[in-house]
Protein backbone atom coordinates (compact mmCIF):
# COMPACT_ATOMS: atom_id res chain seq x y z
CA UNK A 1 0.00 0.00 0.00
CA UNK A 2 1.21 3.48 -0.87
CA UNK A 3 2.14 5.69 2.07
CA UNK A 4 1.23 9.35 1.83
CA UNK A 5 2.84 11.94 4.09
CA UNK A 6 0.82 14.40 6.14
CA UNK A 7 2.60 17.25 4.36
CA UNK A 8 1.39 16.03 0.98
CA UNK A 9 -2.17 15.63 2.27
CA UNK A 10 -2.17 19.18 3.62
CA UNK A 11 -0.76 20.63 0.41
CA UNK A 12 -3.36 18.82 -1.67
CA UNK A 13 -6.19 19.95 0.63
CA UNK A 14 -5.12 23.61 0.61
CA UNK A 15 -4.86 23.76 -3.17
CA UNK A 16 -8.28 22.15 -3.55
CA UNK A 17 -9.80 24.59 -1.08
CA UNK A 18 -8.34 27.66 -2.77
CA UNK A 19 -9.43 26.44 -6.18
CA UNK A 20 -12.94 25.75 -4.87
CA UNK A 21 -13.34 29.27 -3.46
CA UNK A 22 -12.96 30.67 -6.99
CA UNK A 23 -14.16 27.84 -9.23
CA UNK A 24 -16.66 25.86 -7.15
CA UNK A 25 -19.90 24.98 -8.91
CA UNK A 26 -23.18 26.47 -7.72
CA UNK A 27 -25.99 23.99 -7.09
CA UNK A 28 -29.38 24.48 -5.41
CA UNK A 29 -28.61 21.77 -2.81
CA UNK A 30 -25.44 23.57 -1.76
CA UNK A 31 -27.38 26.42 -0.20
CA UNK A 32 -27.63 26.31 3.56
CA UNK A 33 -31.43 26.28 3.71
CA UNK A 34 -31.80 22.70 2.52
CA UNK A 35 -33.37 20.53 5.25
CA UNK A 36 -32.46 16.91 6.00
CA UNK A 37 -35.23 15.63 3.76
CA UNK A 38 -33.96 17.53 0.74
CA UNK A 39 -30.40 16.63 1.57
CA UNK A 40 -31.00 12.89 1.62
CA UNK A 41 -33.35 12.81 -1.35
CA UNK A 42 -30.89 14.88 -3.37
CA UNK A 43 -28.12 12.38 -2.66
CA UNK A 44 -30.34 9.60 -4.00
CA UNK A 45 -31.20 11.66 -7.07
CA UNK A 46 -27.48 12.18 -7.66
CA UNK A 47 -26.57 8.49 -7.60
CA UNK A 48 -25.06 7.42 -10.93
CA UNK A 49 -26.36 10.69 -12.35
CA UNK A 50 -24.68 13.87 -13.51
CA UNK A 51 -25.10 16.75 -11.09
CA UNK A 52 -26.13 19.18 -13.84
CA UNK A 53 -29.10 16.96 -14.70
CA UNK A 54 -30.27 16.93 -11.09
CA UNK A 55 -29.87 20.71 -10.86
CA UNK A 56 -32.31 21.23 -13.74
CA UNK A 57 -34.75 18.96 -11.97
CA UNK A 58 -34.38 20.11 -8.39
CA UNK A 59 -36.99 22.85 -7.84
CA UNK A 60 -39.72 21.07 -9.75
CA UNK A 61 -39.19 17.85 -7.83
CA UNK A 62 -39.34 19.39 -4.37
CA UNK A 63 -42.37 21.49 -5.14
CA UNK A 64 -44.20 18.26 -6.01
CA UNK A 65 -42.67 16.20 -3.18
CA UNK A 66 -41.86 18.61 -0.32
CA UNK A 67 -41.43 16.07 2.52
CA UNK A 68 -41.24 12.37 3.48
CA UNK A 69 -44.99 12.19 3.91
CA UNK A 70 -45.60 13.32 0.35
CA UNK A 71 -43.41 10.45 -0.87
CA UNK A 72 -45.21 7.82 1.22
CA UNK A 73 -48.46 9.06 -0.29
CA UNK A 74 -47.09 9.46 -3.81
CA UNK A 75 -48.80 7.81 -6.73
CA UNK A 76 -46.19 5.29 -7.86
CA UNK A 77 -46.71 5.81 -11.59
CA UNK A 78 -46.69 9.56 -11.15
CA UNK A 79 -43.40 9.41 -9.29
CA UNK A 80 -41.91 7.07 -11.90
CA UNK A 81 -42.84 9.32 -14.79
CA UNK A 82 -41.44 12.25 -12.85
CA UNK A 83 -38.10 10.51 -12.33
CA UNK A 84 -37.83 9.04 -15.83
CA UNK A 85 -35.73 11.86 -17.35
CA UNK A 86 -33.05 11.27 -14.70
CA UNK A 87 -32.55 7.59 -15.49
CA UNK A 88 -32.62 4.56 -13.13
CA UNK A 89 -36.18 5.63 -12.47
CA UNK A 90 -37.76 2.33 -11.41
CA UNK A 91 -35.06 1.63 -8.86
CA UNK A 92 -35.05 5.22 -7.66
CA UNK A 93 -38.82 5.30 -7.22
CA UNK A 94 -38.75 2.13 -5.13
CA UNK A 95 -35.84 3.44 -3.07
CA UNK A 96 -37.47 6.79 -2.33
CA UNK A 97 -40.80 5.24 -1.33
CA UNK A 98 -39.16 2.57 0.84
CA UNK A 99 -36.95 5.15 2.51
CA UNK A 100 -39.84 7.53 3.11
CA UNK A 101 -41.89 4.71 4.65
CA UNK A 102 -39.00 3.69 6.90
CA UNK A 103 -38.43 7.23 8.13
CA UNK A 104 -42.13 7.95 8.64
CA UNK A 105 -42.30 4.79 10.78
CA UNK A 106 -39.66 6.46 12.95
CA UNK A 107 -41.94 9.49 13.37
CA UNK A 108 -40.19 11.26 10.51
CA UNK A 109 -36.86 11.45 12.31
CA UNK A 110 -33.63 10.31 10.69
CA UNK A 111 -31.56 8.21 13.12
CA UNK A 112 -28.59 9.96 14.68
CA UNK A 113 -26.40 6.87 14.96
CA UNK A 114 -24.16 6.16 11.99
CA UNK A 115 -24.81 2.40 12.05
CA UNK A 116 -28.56 2.95 12.12
CA UNK A 117 -28.36 5.46 9.27
CA UNK A 118 -26.60 2.91 7.07
CA UNK A 119 -29.38 0.39 7.76
CA UNK A 120 -31.95 2.63 6.08
CA UNK A 121 -33.14 1.27 2.72
CA UNK A 122 -31.27 2.89 -0.13
CA UNK A 123 -28.61 4.30 2.18
CA UNK A 124 -25.16 2.79 1.77
CA UNK A 125 -21.69 3.99 2.64
CA UNK A 126 -21.80 6.98 0.29
CA UNK A 127 -25.14 8.44 1.36
CA UNK A 128 -24.35 7.74 5.03
CA UNK A 129 -21.14 9.74 4.61
CA UNK A 130 -23.09 12.54 2.94
CA UNK A 131 -25.54 12.66 5.85
CA UNK A 132 -22.68 12.67 8.35
CA UNK A 133 -20.94 15.49 6.48
CA UNK A 134 -23.83 17.70 5.43
CA UNK A 135 -26.45 17.10 8.12
CA UNK A 136 -24.30 16.44 11.19
CA UNK A 137 -21.38 18.63 10.14
CA UNK A 138 -18.81 15.92 10.90
CA UNK A 139 -16.05 15.36 8.32
CA UNK A 140 -16.61 12.39 5.98
CA UNK A 141 -15.61 11.84 2.35
CA UNK A 142 -18.02 11.95 -0.61
CA UNK A 143 -15.91 9.21 -2.15
CA UNK A 144 -17.50 8.56 -5.51
CA UNK A 145 -15.88 7.64 -8.81
CA UNK A 146 -14.90 11.27 -9.36
CA UNK A 147 -13.11 11.74 -6.03
CA UNK A 148 -11.46 8.35 -6.47
CA UNK A 149 -10.12 9.43 -9.86
CA UNK A 150 -8.66 12.68 -8.49
CA UNK A 151 -7.04 10.98 -5.49
CA UNK A 152 -5.64 8.14 -7.57
CA UNK A 153 -4.21 10.41 -10.23
CA UNK A 154 -2.59 12.65 -7.64
CA UNK A 155 -1.41 10.14 -5.02
CA UNK A 156 -1.36 6.82 -6.85
CA UNK A 157 -3.78 4.03 -7.80
CA UNK A 158 -5.83 1.76 -5.54
CA UNK A 159 -5.49 -1.99 -5.55
CA UNK A 160 -9.11 -3.18 -5.26
CA UNK A 161 -11.68 -2.71 -8.01
CA UNK A 162 -14.38 -1.56 -5.60
CA UNK A 163 -13.79 1.89 -4.12
CA UNK A 164 -15.76 1.08 -0.99
CA UNK A 165 -13.49 -1.75 0.11
CA UNK A 166 -10.12 -0.30 -0.85
CA UNK A 167 -8.46 0.59 2.45
CA UNK A 168 -5.78 2.77 0.86
CA UNK A 169 -8.34 4.92 -0.96
CA UNK A 170 -10.68 5.09 2.03
CA UNK A 171 -7.90 6.12 4.41
CA UNK A 172 -6.64 8.68 1.94
CA UNK A 173 -10.08 10.21 1.41
CA UNK A 174 -10.77 10.41 5.16
CA UNK A 175 -7.41 12.04 5.83
CA UNK A 176 -7.87 14.62 3.08
CA UNK A 177 -11.32 15.80 4.19
CA UNK A 178 -10.71 15.64 7.96
CA UNK A 179 -10.38 19.37 8.58
CA UNK A 180 -12.52 22.35 9.52
CA UNK A 181 -13.44 22.99 5.87
CA UNK A 182 -14.59 19.44 5.19
CA UNK A 183 -17.62 20.39 3.10
CA UNK A 184 -15.72 22.80 0.88
CA UNK A 185 -12.86 20.34 0.39
CA UNK A 186 -15.30 17.58 -0.55
CA UNK A 187 -17.17 19.74 -3.03
CA UNK A 188 -13.89 21.09 -4.35
CA UNK A 189 -12.63 17.60 -5.17
CA UNK A 190 -15.92 16.63 -6.82
CA UNK A 191 -15.93 19.86 -8.83
CA UNK A 192 -12.33 19.39 -9.88
CA UNK A 193 -13.13 15.85 -11.01
CA UNK A 194 -16.02 17.09 -13.15
CA UNK A 195 -14.47 20.28 -14.53
CA UNK A 196 -10.72 19.59 -14.91
CA UNK A 197 -9.79 16.07 -13.78
CA UNK A 198 -12.23 14.48 -16.20
CA UNK A 199 -12.03 10.83 -17.05
CA UNK A 200 -11.32 11.51 -20.71
CA UNK A 201 -9.01 14.32 -21.76
CA UNK A 202 -8.32 15.89 -18.36
CA UNK A 203 -7.36 19.57 -18.53
CA UNK A 204 -4.07 19.18 -16.67
CA UNK A 205 -2.62 22.44 -18.00
CA UNK A 206 -5.28 24.40 -16.09
CA UNK A 207 -5.07 22.29 -12.94
CA UNK A 208 -3.77 23.92 -9.74
CA UNK A 209 -2.60 20.49 -8.53
CA UNK A 210 -0.43 19.50 -11.47
CA UNK A 211 2.82 20.30 -9.70
CA UNK A 212 2.44 17.49 -7.17
CA UNK A 213 0.33 15.17 -9.29
CA UNK A 214 1.61 11.67 -10.10
CA UNK A 215 -0.54 11.45 -13.21
CA UNK A 216 0.61 14.78 -14.62
CA UNK A 217 4.26 14.21 -13.77
CA UNK A 218 4.09 10.76 -15.33
CA UNK A 219 2.68 12.16 -18.56
CA UNK A 220 5.30 14.90 -18.62
CA UNK A 221 8.17 12.43 -18.28
CA UNK A 222 6.67 10.20 -20.97
CA UNK A 223 6.60 13.11 -23.38
CA UNK A 224 10.22 13.90 -22.64
CA UNK A 225 11.41 10.35 -23.32
Partner DNA sequence: ATCCTGGTAC
Partner DNA sequence: GTACCTGGAT
**70 is a contact residue toward DNA (CB under 7 A):** no
Out of 66, 78, 87, 218, point to the residue binding DNA (CB under 7 A). Answer: 87
Angle at 54 between CA 173 and CA 17, to 5 degrees: 35
Out of 125, 178, 214, 219, point to the residue binding DNA (CB under 7 A). Answer: 125
For residues 152 to 191, the per-residue mask of contacts with DNA, x marking binding by CB under 7 A and - elsewhere, is --------xxx-xx---------------------x--x-
CB of 148 to DNA, least distance (A): 8
How many Å apart are CA 85 and CA 68, to the nearest integer? Answer: 22
Q: How many helices (H) and strands (E) does the chain have?
A: 13, 0
Complex with DNA: residue 44 or 74, whichever CB lies closer: 44
DSSP letter, residue 28: G
How many Å apart are CA 2 and CA 215, to the nearest integer? Answer: 15
Complex with DNA: residue 179 or 194, whichever CB lies closer: 194
Complex with DNA: residue 4 or 188, whichever CB lies closer: 188
Distances (CA, A) of 162 to 11, 27, 148, 176, 186: 27, 28, 10, 19, 20
Out of 59, 66, 90, 109, point to the residue binding DNA (CB under 7 A). Answer: 90
Contact set for DNA, span 8-27 (CB under 7 A)? 27
CB of 225 to DNA, least distance (A): 25
For residues 184 to 223, the per-residue mask of contacts with DNA, x marking binding by CB under 7 A and - elsewhere, is ---x--x--xx---xxx-----------------------
> What residues contact residue 38 under an 8 Å CB cut-off, 6+ apart?
29, 62
User: Count of CB atoms within 10 A of residue 68's CB?
Assistant: 23
Out of 39, 51, 179, 204, point to the residue binding DNA (CB under 7 A). Answer: 51
CB of 124 to DNA, least distance (A): 3
* Chain CA centroid to CA 101, Å: 24
Amino acid sequence: MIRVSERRITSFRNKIYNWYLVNGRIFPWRTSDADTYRLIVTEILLQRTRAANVAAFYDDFFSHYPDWYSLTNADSEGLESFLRPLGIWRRRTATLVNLANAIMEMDGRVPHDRVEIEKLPGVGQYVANAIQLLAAGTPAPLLDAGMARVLERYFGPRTLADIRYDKYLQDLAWRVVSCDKAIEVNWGILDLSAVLCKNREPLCSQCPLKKGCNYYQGNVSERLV
